[in-house]
Every structure is written in structure tokens, then in C-alpha cells.
Structure 1
């Protein structure tokens, strides 16, 4: 995967904590779903915001591992979390873990669910089906049988703009082609001067296609509650 958030990383926390995500809600939903599992793997740990809330709200014996492929994000995550979580520079296409994790989860990371009314899709930052297959095979090897994969729910991707603290403005532009491949441009600006620009690409898979792909690698749909979708690792 490309170094997805290299340019946006210095503004990432400001964008994400000013209304983009409700991290307490995601963390509590995750904690409600993990049961007795204590070994957690975050797919796309970013700057460590989800891990931080899990450690604040969850039991003291949580064992958190977060992976990301963007060095600048991991630097911030290590500053935030210190030694409270294991943070690794890993790409899901290459990662290799023993079957040791009780739960893997993604809050807007590699995969997540997009819902628009009654319709849902699996969103992936991996554009090709063969890359998704390879990454899910690696994930299946990392999550123990009987464990879970938890994917957060987001709304549809649309162009919008909103103010940020400090006189900054966040803007996103979204384009999509006929095959459901999206290009999303993020801008941080002040007084019409662009301070940072990041381009990300992702793809939406219809849920029938997504479920077939997930099933192929041992992840069976269990339930959804509007915040998370849960898949059981067979």
C-alpha cells in the first residue's frame, strides 16, 4: 500500500477529533463485542486515537497491537501511547503473525463498512481483488479460530467542507468511476492557502461480493448494530 497519510498526518488528529469520528462510541462498541478476548490487533492504527480510548475505557489486561504503514502516523502513535501498546510498521499485504489475536478491528483503516440508507458496502483501501484476498489470508492467519473481525460503520463519501480550530478549513473532494473505485482528495487550508493535500484511493465492494470474499478466508458474518459489523473467524 502507498504511504497513505504522509502529507495529512500533521493535521490528522485535529481533523479526526473535531467531529469526524466519535472515538468514545467506537471504543465502547468494540469493548462490548470483544467478550473475554484480550489480544487485539488494530488494522491501521494511525496516530493511536482508538487504542488510547480502549486503554482508557477497557480492562487493564488488554493487549493491544497496532499496525500501520505510514511512518509519520506511527511516530505520533508512539508519542501518544508510549509502551502501552505494541506498534509496528506493517503492511497487511506482507504481515505475518502467528494465530494469536482474539480480535482484529478496523476503524476507518484498511477495511470498513459504508452504509447509505438500506444499502451497505465493504470499503477497502486495497483496490484489487487479489490484494484483498492476500491481505485477508494474512489476517486469517493472525486471528485465532473462534476470534472476531470487527469493522466500523461510516456514512457515504461525499464532498464537503468544514471549519477547524485555528482558522483552518478542511475540504474533501470525491470522485468515483463506474467500477466503484473512489479517489478522495483531502485539503487543509487557511485563508485559501493550501497547507496540506492528501489523495487516497479506495474501492466499494457490494456486500454479496464482500461476504463471499470474507467467507473464503474464514470470516463469517455474525451481526451489525449500526456502529460495528462483526465477523466470526471459523
Structure 2
């Protein structure tokens, strides 16, 4: 899996803490869907900001977070201590020897982009087959009837903003390919101070259009559950094995 954020971990955490996401609202929405005492797996736990907010709402949940970036997990460990089970794992290949009531992805492996009149499924994985494999593995780790909550957010745009310590963040999005089924683009992160580049990262993102992503979910046995969707998340449910 690409897109590991290794070179920008410290600055990424600074950016995420500056209002890039409203983690309180995200956690409240997820909790309103899941309720108390769930066994939850976060796909792409990052530096632990969503996990921190969620476990503050529900101290009875059993929260596990995976990520492929060691430096992200180190920051998450410092933030969360032993309140969350943190593991360096890849969604494509993980074998956790257990199942979960629910999974969360907030800009982790998958996220939905809401264009107002349509949705697209954004992925850090590079092609259909990898996404199929990753979602099959996710479903393998979900109990029957389990839920996967994928963050719904607005499409990214080019912008810059000031961060604490005199640091300026900017992001640049460059389209690469566009066809009837999917789009590809590059997203570049830059952190600068006093006109000096401190860190940068380049990601390649794949966007499945509405002609394709429903087939992907159908192929792995997930169906949308409208009654469990909310302002921040699109929710899919693992179908019964006897269907």
C-alpha cells in the first residue's frame, strides 16, 4: 500500500489538530449510529485523534486502530496510552483473528466525496483488484450484520493555511486520468516556514464513480444501510451469509 505519510507525520498531526477535521462531530455521529459497548476497528487510525474523541464518549467500547505508518502509531500511542489497541497492519493483508461490530474509516483507506448531486468513493489503494481484496478482508473481520462507516466529506481543493509556530500548510491537487468509471489524481502536501520547505508528501488517490463503486461493495457482500447513515458517514452493512 502506498500513501504512508511517513515524511510528514509531526506536521500532519499539527494540521489535523488545527481544525482540518471536526473530530468531536465525527465521533458523536459515529457514536449515534453504533451506541455503547461496541467492538470497533478504525482503518487508518493515524495519530489517534478520532479514537481519542470516540473513547471519551464511550469508555465501554473496545477500540482497535490499525495503520501502516509506524511514526503515526507512535504519536497515537503517546496520545492514547493503553486505552486503544494499536497495531501496525495493512487492510489488504491483516489477520487479527477476531471480528468486530463495526469499522470506521475517516480519510483512512476509503472515504466518500460528496459532490452534492453524486458520491465518489476515494481510495488510497491503486486499482480495482486491490480495493476488492481490501474490502473482502474488511468483511472477513466483520461479524454478520456488522457495519462499516466511511466518512463523507467535500472534495478537496487547492488551498493554504497558517499553522501554529509560523508554519504554513498548502495542498495542491493534480488530475491524472479521468474515464467513465474512475478518476486518478495526485495530492501534494507542503509544510513551510520562513520560505523554507520543512516537509512534503505526495499521494496518489483513486476515485470510483457511481457507475463502479456500488458493484465493488456488492461483490464483497456489503449493502448500504440508509437508516444508519448520518451527516458525516455513509454506512454499509455486512449481508447475511444465507442470502
What is the aligned partner in structure 1 of residue 129 from structure 2?
130
CA distance in 1, matches of 2:3, 2:223: 30
220, 227, 230: which one pairs with 2:232? 227
1:45 is the counterpart of 2:45: yes
Give the SS at the match of 1:151: strand
TM-superposed CA distance for 1:99, in Å, is 4.9
What is the aligned partner in structure 2 of residue 108 from structure 1?
107
Over residues 181-209 of structure 1, what are the superposed CA-to-partner deviations in whole Å (9 max), with x where a residue is unaligned?
A: 11100000012111000111111101341
Give the alignment of 1:116-195 within 5 angstroms: 116-179=115-178, 180-195=183-198
What is the aligned partner in structure 1 of residue 79 from structure 2?
80
Moved over 4 A (4+): none
CA distance in 1, matches of 2:41, 2:211: 26
Give the SS at the match of 1:177: strand
- Is the 8 Å Cα contact of residues 3 and 70 (structure 1) preserved in structure 2? no
1:217 is the counterpart of 2:220: yes
* Cα 1:208/1:3, change in 2 over 3 Å: closer
TM-superposed CA distance for 1:40, in Å, is 0.1
User: Aligned residues, how many?
Assistant: 233
Give the structure-1-normalised TM-score.
Answer: 0.96
1:68 is the counterpart of 2:67: yes
- Is the 8 Å Cα contact of residues 219 and 233 (structure 1) preserved in structure 2? yes
- Is the 8 Å Cα contact of residues 162 and 168 (structure 2) preserved in structure 1? yes
Kindly report the root-mean-square deviation, in angstroms, between the aligned alpha carbons of the 2 structures. Answer: 1.3
- Is the 8 Å Cα contact of residues 43 and 104 (structure 2) preserved in structure 1? yes
- Structure 2: 5+ residue stretches without partners: none
TM-superposed CA distance for 1:175, in Å, is 0.6
CA distance in 1, matches of 2:217, 2:167: 40
Give the structure-2-normalised TM-score.
Answer: 0.92
Over residues 30-77 of structure 1, what are the superposed CA-to-partner deviations in whole Å (9 max), with x where a residue is unaligned?
A: 10111356100000000011110011122x210011000000000001
Give the SS at the match of 2:225: strand
- Structure 1: 5+ residue stretches without partners: none
CA distance in 2, matches of 1:2, 1:77: 20
Give the SS at the match of 2:32: helix
